[in-house]
């Protein structure tokens, strides 16, 4: 075991901001990364709320940036001191899915529950192969994507979930076509990236939907053409009301909240040949019920893990678009918080007007 680290431990009932966390050294093919910034995604909050069942104690966080601080045996292509964005997969690189360019389908990337940390003598779980709410983490080398030093750490951090998931869902999974009409339900860190992905893909109508009217301004800044607050109304009807009288519905809808009624609304607003993409993670037992005949006119419903991303390639593409002013990263960072303020940051994520809140690490 190495030095004692600062980090946030969730024990099932409270956050502990601690100074006595330990992480094991990097093994073959792994690196240690000193974190500089970590975004808060609703999936972290979902563990706290019990929507995503997860064993404790655990170090949450899966959207971060940092600096490589130690290389495990056999690691090449990364150097100590290099700035990186972390991705959550760490795929094996050798299976048929990796070979086919589908690392999100690599079996080795899902369901692992290692305990690389120790807190006060107790083995402590890692979350989403990352756990970036700790000063140092140990990850597979291929979870690190080098990021130029001049990209602010808080912006780079958001590449690892919000951007890969949201933009990837549009470009990789749905493959939205130019001229499309797109609806995005939920204007949080994921939804905003779906919105900017849809704009990049050439969608001509991007309808953002959120029950928090404070999200309208953000939605427009990221490329929405319309915003609707469906509070007290039927969500699909609120979107349909905005479409031309001869429209059969939207070409694509993206559910970015994690609520079964909104997944149903995503289907209900589809036009002929439309596709609903379900990104939100609801409670484990939640089911989607849809009249089968409603799908008859070539409609599709698809799930999507992590934007069906190829992180090494996609992050580089997104950084190029960011450089060219075509993808917003800095604007995703609404507020930064010190580690001690994690409770406030989680509260703001649940109730506030954040694009993203980001924890920053200073020693």
Ligand X SMILES: NC(=O)c1ccc[n+]([C@@H]2O[C@H](COP(=O)([O-])OP(=O)(O)OC[C@H]3O[C@@H](n4cnc5c(N)ncnc54)[C@H](O)[C@@H]3O)[C@@H](O)[C@H]2O)c1
Which residues make up the interface to Zn ion (CB under 5 A)?
41, 43, 91-92, 95, 98, 106, 161
By CB under 6 A, what part of segment 169-198 binds ligand X?
185-191
Q: Degrees (nearest 5) of the Cα angle 6, 8, 9?
A: 120
CB of 211 to ligand X, least distance (A): 4
Stretch 250-279: interaction string toward ligand X, x if CB under 6 A:
------xxxx--x----------------x
Per-residue binder mask for ligand X (CB under 6 A), 213-252, x = binder: --x-------------------------------------
The residues, any chain, with a CB within 8 Å of residue 162's CB and separated by 6 or more, are 39, 41, 63, 189, 190, 192, 193, 332, 356
**CA neighbor of 359 nearest in space, from 350, 347, 340:** 340
Among 363, 357, 360, smallest CA distance to 45 is for 357
- Starting at the edge strand that comes first in sequence, how are the strands of the sheet with 226-228 ordered? 226-228, 205-209, 181-185, 250-255, 270-278, 300-303
Cβ(26)–Cβ(71) under 8 Å?
Answer: yes
Nearer to Zn ion, 110 or 272 (CB): 110
CB of 304 to ligand X, least distance (A): 5
Residue count, binding to ligand X (CB under 6 A): 30
Q: Is 41 in the site for ligand X (CB under 6 A)?
A: yes
Closer residue to ligand X, CB minimum distance, 26 or 282: 282
205 binds, among Zn ion, ligand X, none (CB under 5 to 8 A by kind): none
43 binds ligand X (CB under 6 A): yes
- Residue 91's binding partner out of ligand X, Zn ion, none, with CB under 5 to 8 Å set by partner kind: Zn ion
Q: Report if residue 334 touches ligand X, rule: CB under 6 A.
A: no
Residue 51-90 contact track with ligand X, rule CB under 6 A, x = bound: ----------------------------------------
Cβ nearer to Zn ion, comparing 24 with 259: 259
Q: Which of 285, 215, 272 is nearest to 243 (CA)?
A: 272
Q: Which is nearer to ligand X, 76 or 351 (CB)?
A: 351
Q: In the beta sheet, which residues pair with residue 100? A: none
Both tokens of 193, joined, read 């990236």
Of residues 281 through 310, those in contact with ligand X by CB under 6 A are 281, 304-306
User: Is 155 or 180 the residue whose CB approaches Zn ion more closely?
Assistant: 155
Q: Shortest approach of Zn ion to residue 95 CB, angstroms?
A: 3
Taking CB within 5 to 8 Å according to partner kind, which of ligand X, Zn ion, none is near residue 258? ligand X
Residue 92's binding partner among ligand X, Zn ion, none (Cβ under 5 to 8 angstroms by kind) is Zn ion
Of 102, 115, 211, 336, which one interacts with ligand X (CB under 6 A)? 211
Calculate the alpha carbon distances from 187 to 13, 127, 220 in Å.
Answer: 28, 24, 10
**102, 115, 118, 212: which one binds ligand X (CB under 6 A):** 212
For residues 159 and 85, the answer to whether their CB atoms sit within 8 Å is: yes
Q: Nearest distance from residue 56's CB to ligand X, in Å?
A: 18
Place of tokens 């599709």: 300
Torsion of CA 194, 195, 199, 203, to 10 degrees: 90
For the chain, strand residue ranges (E) read 5-10, 15-23, 30-39, 58-59, 64-71, 83-86, 117-119, 122-126, 136-140, 144-146, 181-185, 205-209, 226-228, 250-255, 270-278, 300-303, 333-338, 356-360
Residues that bind ligand X (CB under 6 A): 41-43, 46, 161, 165, 185-191, 209-212, 215, 256-259, 262, 279-281, 304-306, 349
């Amino acid at each position: 075991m190495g030095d004692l680290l600062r980090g946030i431990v969730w024990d099932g009932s409270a956050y502990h901001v601690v100074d006595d966390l330990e992480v094991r050294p990097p093994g073959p093919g792994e690196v240690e990364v000193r974190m500089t910034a970590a975004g808060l995604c609703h999936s972290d909050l979902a563990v706290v709320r019990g929507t995503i069942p997860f064993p404790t104690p655990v170090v949450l966080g899966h959207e971060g940036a940092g600096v490589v601080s130690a290389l495990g045996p056999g690691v090449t292509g990364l150097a100590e001191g290099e700035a990186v964005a972390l991705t959550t997969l760490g795929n094996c690189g050798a299976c048929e899915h990796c070979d086919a360019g589908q690392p999100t389908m690599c079996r080795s990337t899902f369901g692992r529950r290692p305990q690389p940390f120790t807190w006060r003598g107790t083995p402590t779980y890692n979350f989403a192969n990352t756990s970036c709410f700790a000063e140092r983490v140990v990850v597979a080398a291929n979870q690190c994507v080098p990021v130029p030093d001049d990209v602010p750490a808080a912006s780079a951090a958001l590449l690892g979930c919000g951007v890969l998931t949201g933009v990837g869902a549009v470009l990789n999974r749905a493959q939205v076509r130019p001229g499309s009409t797109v609806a995005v339900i939920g204007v949080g860190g994921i939804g905003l990236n779906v919105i900017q992905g849809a704009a990049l893909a050439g969608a001509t109508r991007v309808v953002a939907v959120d029950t928090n009217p404070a999200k309208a301004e953000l939605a427009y800044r990221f490329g929405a053409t319309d915003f609707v607050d469906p509070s007290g109304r039927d969500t699909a009807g609120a979107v349909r009301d905005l479409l031309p009288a001869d429209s059969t519905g939207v070409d694509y809808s993206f559910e970015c909240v994690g609520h079964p009624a909104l997944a149903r609304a995503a289907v209900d607003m589809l036009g002929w040949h439309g596709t609903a993409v379900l990104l939100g993670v609801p409670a484990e037992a939640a089911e989607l019920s849809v009249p089968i005949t409603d799908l008859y006119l070539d409609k599709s419903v698809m799930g999507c893990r992590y934007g069906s991303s190829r992180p090494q390639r996609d992050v580089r593409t997104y950084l190029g678009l960011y450089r060219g002013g075509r993808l917003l990263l800095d604007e995703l960072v609404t507020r930064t918080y010190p580690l001690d303020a994690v409770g406030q940051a989680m509260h703001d994520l649940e109730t506030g007007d954040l694009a993203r809140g980001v924890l920053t690490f200073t020693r």
